[in-house]
Structure 1
Amino acid sequence: MAYQQTQSRYGPCDSYFVESQDDGIYAARAEARERARAIARMQQRAIAEDLSRLTADEYQDDVLAHMEYMENQTLPDVNSIDIQTEIQWFMRPYLLDFLVEAHAAFQLLPETLFLAVNLLDRYCSRRVVYKRHYQLVGCAALLIAAKYGDKKDRVPTVRELKSMCCSLYDDEMFTQMEWHVLQTLNWIIGHPTIDSFLQMALSDVPYDPEVEHMTLYIAEIALFHKEFVSTKPSVLAKSALALARCILSRNQHSTSDWAGAYDAQTVMGLSNHLYQPSQVLSRKYSSMHLSNVSTTVDEFLQRQAQIARRAAAPPTPPVTVVADERSKPFVDTYGPHGPHTPQKSQYGAAVVQHGCLTPPITPENEQFAYGTVPKSQPTSHAYPTTPTPDHPANVQQAQYYNGAYVQPQQY
């Protein structure tokens, strides 16, 4: 009977699924509930961050003291790595290039790379590593570091690592090496990385992504060099931060603060290795989401080189303008017996005869003009001019001055 009433109320239906006008209302209510849940999650996250910040401020000194204690306990030994029989220091940059590329391919956190390199160096400080297993140890260290502190959905699988190694190792070899690394390190994985100290140093200042990316770039350059393997991460973090602020012309921390107490010698060592960074690192930090800091460093180094060249250039000697060539003093550099270049006398082609100066035929001074006599020059001469021999009287006078008087012939 109820079924018949229902049939009479809604009418016959050929389908089992009937659309109702109330479905839109239910969908709108479900969407509103999901929106309210999302807003509630965001509020809870904001409250958790505020509580974490208050707790961190209260326990910051204790946390920093524990981090500094742990960094001393988990430092690798360079001298132990030096006595390795097969692996050498020149192989390290090639392995680190591979780890940097794998780290970027899986989009892991920055601290994962620093932790992986620390696990690699600590293992090489305690075990003899064969050359053919060096890359396998690096992959195991990266896998352990990713499992320890990175997001679970980004942890690489053994199959992915095997593919990146061109199937050089079997699946079981990755698992065995991972277990062997953990056994060698007594399952002590926690290590305060450079990124951890950097976040603590930047917690009291406004967020500046360019400074953070520049500091990470300098810190990753330090991973490639032997002299920084046994340097404490806290010292490297503060020194790299100071150098990054110097390159970007930012204000430095006060020397009384923990972040401002950097090591000047470490800063100089880091600056000396900025000239030839790894091509993989340079390409990685030339992207826009990392503030293009590698290009910024190259431009900074070019400016510093130009300033150094200008400072080393000798000063330009002053130019002395000489009014007349005849006023230049003659310096005899060859001595009295050396070769001499004939010099023009003061009076040009004048010839001295009997103590009397014979003036040139054409005056060389520019104040004389053809057919004119300057007003400043007297018209009378102290000595008679050279006579012209075309007149008999002048011929007789010329013979007199030459010292032989000859009676002119009568024509």
Structure 2
Amino acid sequence: MAVSNIDNSAPIAQSCDIYMEEIRNHMEHMENETLPDLNKINSQPEITWFMRHYLLDFLVEAHQSFQLSPETLFLTVNLLDRYCSICIVPNSHYQLLGCVSLLIAAKYCDKKNIPTTKELETIYCSLYNKEMFKKMEWDVLNVLEWRVGNPTTECYLQIFLTEGFDKAEVEYIARYICEVALYHKQFVSTKPSVMARASVALAGFFFDHRDFPGLDYVENPTLLALLPYLYNISEVLKKKYYSYSFS
């Protein structure tokens, strides 16, 4: 008895489409749920954007020193800003909050390269002790209701890069643009998906890849708003990317 050719791929493809739709919906929901509030951060009585700039410099250096994943840096800043969107942070605890945000993000994203509290104490010249780190970590997790994970800008970068580009330099420049944006309050409440798509489109444009899927409907205000900041870069971030070379 001959076996007829039956295409079993259609049901599988439909199932995949359903799952992908559910995943996208969940990511969109979590993206909205974990977005920092610019106005709330603006109302901090002791914390200024000038202070935040220097804290981010420190976090970028610490992140690089511990050889953590790109996603960890974006999650670190998200945790920092979300906490500042909810609680008043004393000036004396702002650096501690940043350091603990890095620790939590590393535990969530890196697993193997998690810095120890001893290492964190060292980079702060023993300004904060183990108990202070532990107490702040517990406080951050409780305030954020243990919602640590979120679809970061790095997560969306990887999604959008697979849609149109396979060149390392485009990924490099896109991530660089996203990290530049971390420093500026204008982008604190910008959705990671919006930032990632604008950065990938802009990076592709720099390399004359103008056929990126979605370039026509990319959020133009975000893309245009990014341009001026690419000429006003943190020295720490500049140093981080200066030595990079394409193989």
Same fold (TM over 0.5): yes
Which residue of the other structure, out of 132, 139, 143, is the alignment partner of 2:92?
A: 132
Residue identity matched to 1:207: D
Q: Is the 8 A contact 1:84 1:128 kept in 2?
A: yes
Aligned residues between the structures: 234
CA distance in 2, matches of 1:285, 1:128: 34
Q: Is the 8 A contact 2:60 2:73 kept in 1?
A: yes
Partner of 1:97: 57
Partner of 1:62: 22
> What is the RMSD computed on CA atoms of the aligned residues?
1.9
CA distance in 2, matches of 1:79, 1:248: 36
Which residue of the other structure, out of 151, 159, 162, is the alignment partner of 2:121?
A: 162
Q: Give the 5 Å matches for 1:85-234.
A: 85-150=45-110, 152-234=111-193
Q: Is the 8 A contact 2:164 2:213 kept in 1?
A: no
- Asked which structure has the greater CA Rg, the reply is 1
Residue identity matched to 1:270: L
Q: CA deviation at 1:56?
A: 6.8
> Structure 1 residues 56 and 156 mapped into 2: Cα distance closer, same or farther (>3 Å)?
farther
Q: Is the 8 A contact 2:161 2:200 kept in 1?
A: no
Q: CA deviation at 1:225?
A: 0.4
CA displacement, residues 1-20 of structure 1 (integer Å, 9 cap, x when unaligned): xxxxxxxxxxxxxxxxxxxx
Q: CA deviation at 1:206?
A: 4.9
CA displacement, residues 73-95 of structure 1 (integer Å, 9 cap, x when unaligned): 11111111111111111111100
Partner of 1:281: 237
CA distance in 2, matches of 1:206, 1:231: 23
CA distance in 1, matches of 2:85, 2:18: 37
Partner of 1:270: 226
Q: Give the 5 Å matches for 1:215-364.
A: 215-255=174-214, 261-288=217-244, 291=246
CA displacement, residues 12-50 of structure 1 (integer Å, 9 cap, x when unaligned): xxxxxxxxxxxxxxxxxxxxxxxxxxxxxxxxxxxxxxx
CA distance in 2, matches of 1:135, 1:206: 38
CA displacement, residues 78-125 of structure 1 (integer Å, 9 cap, x when unaligned): 111111111111111100000000000111111100001000001011
Q: CA deviation at 1:166?
A: 1.5
Q: Is the 8 A contact 1:111 1:193 kept in 2?
A: yes
Looking at secondary structure, tell me which structure has more helix per residue: 2
Percent identity reads 52
Residue identity matched to 1:59: Y
What SS is found at the alignment partner of 2:56?
Answer: helix
> Structure 1 residues 262 and 155 mapped into 2: Cα distance closer, same or farther (>3 Å)?
same
CA distance in 1, matches of 2:101, 2:93: 12
Partner of 1:20: none
Residue identity matched to 1:120: L
CA distance in 1, matches of 2:216, 2:193: 12
Q: Is the 8 A contact 1:238 1:260 kept in 2?
A: no
Q: Give the 5 Å matches for 1:15-26.
A: none
What SS is found at the alignment partner of 2:80?
Answer: helix
> Structure 1 residues 253 and 205 mapped into 2: Cα distance closer, same or farther (>3 Å)?
closer
Q: CA deviation at 1:276?
A: 1.2
Q: CA deviation at 1:181?
A: 0.2
Residue identity matched to 2:227: S
Gapped runs of 5+ residues in structure 1? 1-54, 293-411
Q: Is the 8 A contact 1:76 1:121 kept in 2?
A: yes
CA distance in 2, matches of 1:56, 1:208: 27
Partner of 1:402: none
